[in-house]
A and B are shown apart, each in its own frame.
Chain A
Amino acid sequence: MTSNSYSSATEHAHEPQLRGLKRWLLTTNHKEIGTLYLIFSLTMFFIGGTMALVIRAELFQPGLQLVQPEFFNQMTTMHGLIMVFGAVMPAFVGLANWMVPLQIGAPDMALPRLNNFSFWLLPLAFSLLLSSLFMEGGGPNFGWTFYAPLSTTYAPPSTNFFILSIHLAGISSILGAINIIATILNMRTPAMKLMDMPLFVWTWLITAFLLLAVMPVLAGVVTMMLLDINFGTSFFNAAGGGDPVLFQHLFWFFGHPEVYIMILPAFGIASMIVPAFARKRLFGYRSMVYATASIAILSFVVWAHHMFTVGLPLAAQLFFMYATMLIAVPTGVKVFNWVATLFHGSISFEVPMLFTLAFIVQFTIGGLSGVMLAIVPADYQYHDTYFVVAHFHYVLVPGAVFAIIAGVYYWLPKWTGYYPDETLGRWHFWLSVIGVNLTFFPMHFSGLAGMPRRIPDYALQFADFNLLSSLGGFLFGLSQLLLVWVVVRCVRGGKPAPDNPWEGAEGLEWTVPSPAPLHTFSTPPEFIPERDSPSRA
């Protein structure tokens, strides 16, 4: 440290250590806030997961057994909303909070107090959303895409609470994104150029720009809903000169970048873990960065592939079909780069690597069914069937969620100072892989056979596939309790982890002690691009 003025400034941050609830309520430390995000996300994952199991239990056999259709609709809606906005997105923000400052050699996030605010908006938003389930008329029941007029003219009275909670979650995301961009652009350790950043940081930088661009559109859509419901405007109401199709255009203009918001950081995590356990540098660092940026840019011009059946002109259908297929190119670049990194690597199969390899394979399955859905005439057939459900669950669960779990196993030694239990981890992995594929693979077939989504009952010929999906769903859901068990055990103790617990792992996060002390990098660490950069020759 060259000057005392900064050291005294950081000392100030150390002083009165708050205890108990206040410590967590008022913390401005990126590691503590990261932990809060991750715990919140895990809680939401289990709440949303329980709803998924209600759905799967009802669909276990044809007919209505357990729940009323009205409640079933609330379950499908809430499951989607909670998993998207409450589980997957906060998990990535939590990982970013923990790891981005450590990976770029920054002492904390650029705006620590804003960071605290963005987190605490989330519990508020989701308590509001969940409370609507207990209100008169029930909670949101119009699907997570809340198409108007189902979500305006025909919506339950609790919709206003839903709108407010989406607003709060949106504000939280925007503030989080601003914070992450400000941190990455200004607080890298001096010698680290943009092209020296770890890919998790790169993918998050691009994701944060996506958030900043589309979250206001979501806020705009729900505001228009609010006005239509309460103030007699007619944005989405044909009777007053509005257009319900406008809702779908606006929603998917947000919604398609949103699905990349949920997958780009997962690409980043895979790009950290594959080189570490293949003991090779990542193949094609630059092409990974460019591919991520291309996916992000293309995500703005493909939204209408979600609405091929609304009656788009032929030219528009062709444009959106080809633009969508074009995304397979940068995505393919990524998959090939991971495979090329594995090629001739000396691979070991620790739990983070197992989850990452499963991520690559299963995400590719989801990507391929995405290309099938991009074909307009085929989409006419697949639209609103379980094939679509199979597709997006493959990219989100065995895709994004597996990458998050891989990241958790990979960085747990840094967080707790102990290795996660390898045996339990393997059990968790294998039960999850079997469960998740047993759940979602049969959905391809029930969908192709014509089973519609979001319906609590079905025709007899779909019974076998649904039975398999339900069994798989319960297996996958229950095996996630193992994850909790692994994490709890790892926090309590276990095999002590050295600073760098993985033989082939690179990056500044492994230069600090395990567990990482509350304050790290109060002086910027040494970074020699020729030696440390992931893009070095």
Chain B
Amino acid sequence: MNSLSLRTQQQGIRRTLWWLLLMLCGSVAFTVALVPLYDVFCELTGINGKGVNSAQVLQSTGIDQQRNVEVQMVTRTAAGMNWHFSATLSHKAVHPGEIHQMWFRMQNLGRTTGRAHAVPSISPAEASNYFLKLECFCFNDQQLAAEEVLEVPVVFQIRSDLPEDLHRLTLAYTLYPQTGP
């Protein structure tokens, strides 16, 4: 191989390297973007059952008196939470389109002030985009002094265009301890 073709080869290698480094940067950028993309995707489709994490607007599409949908309330506390957390009503039959308010009761059983945050989950997941939370204690942290009791509401509406095959929704709240600011 003569020096000219060797030089062309070296240039070729250098050019390939730049392309590959660019590709590598692309995959790194893609990886970083995957996390926010996942969140946006889940919020749009509701497939992780979380739904929207802020107050939603009331839909005035009328109440479907013919249909009854059962809403079940499930609560749990995460490991290490010395709180009592329960729903005042375990289930309720609602008509799609109606606005309802449900109450949850939490009590700090410990001896120190604690803070907690409830994370909602709606199943089946395809229902989560039809479950509108007009007001929810899960939008904020709750701070309770030792042995303090707090009753907190969630105001919700099930959209009247809820798919026909859904007859029962489960609204599950998990209470997690919060530390830090």
Contact = CB atoms under 8 A, between A and B. Distances in A.
A174 B24 contact: yes
B34 A217 contact: yes
A311 B34 contact: no
Given A212-B23, A239-B176, A313-B125, A220 B117 contact: no
Interface string A305-319: 000000111001000
Contacts of A523: 1
Given A246-B35, A246-B38, A313-B125, A186 B1 contact: no
B interface SS class:
helix
A185 interface: yes
Given A182-B16, A250-B34, A253-B34, A312 B27 contact: no
Given A235-B35, A311-B125, A524 B1 contact: yes
A262 interface: no
Given A212-B23, A313-B125, A181 B28 contact: no
A193 to B, nearest CB: 15
B47 A216 contact: no
B2 to A, nearest CB: 4
B174 A3 contact: no
A376 interface: no
Interface residues of B, number: 40
B56 interface: no
B178 A239 contact: yes
A313 B126 contact: yes
A249 interface: yes
A185 B16 contact: yes
Contacts of B31: 216-217, 219-220, 250
Contact of A239 (B24, B35, B177): B177
Contact of A238 (B17, B42, B119, B123): B119
Interface string A1-24: 111011001000000000000000
B12 to A, nearest CB: 4
A245 interface: yes
10 contacts: A3-B2, A3-B3, A111-B13, A185-B16, A216-B27, A217-B34, A220-B34, A224-B35, A249-B34, A253-B34
Interface of A: 1-3, 5-6, 9, 110-111, 174, 178, 181-182, 185-187, 190, 212-217, 219-220, 224, 232, 235, 238-241, 243, 245-246, 249-250, 253, 311-313, 316, 523-524
7 smallest beta-carbon distances between A and B, as pairs: A239-B176, A220-B31, A3-B2, A186-B12, A216-B27, A5-B3, A216-B28
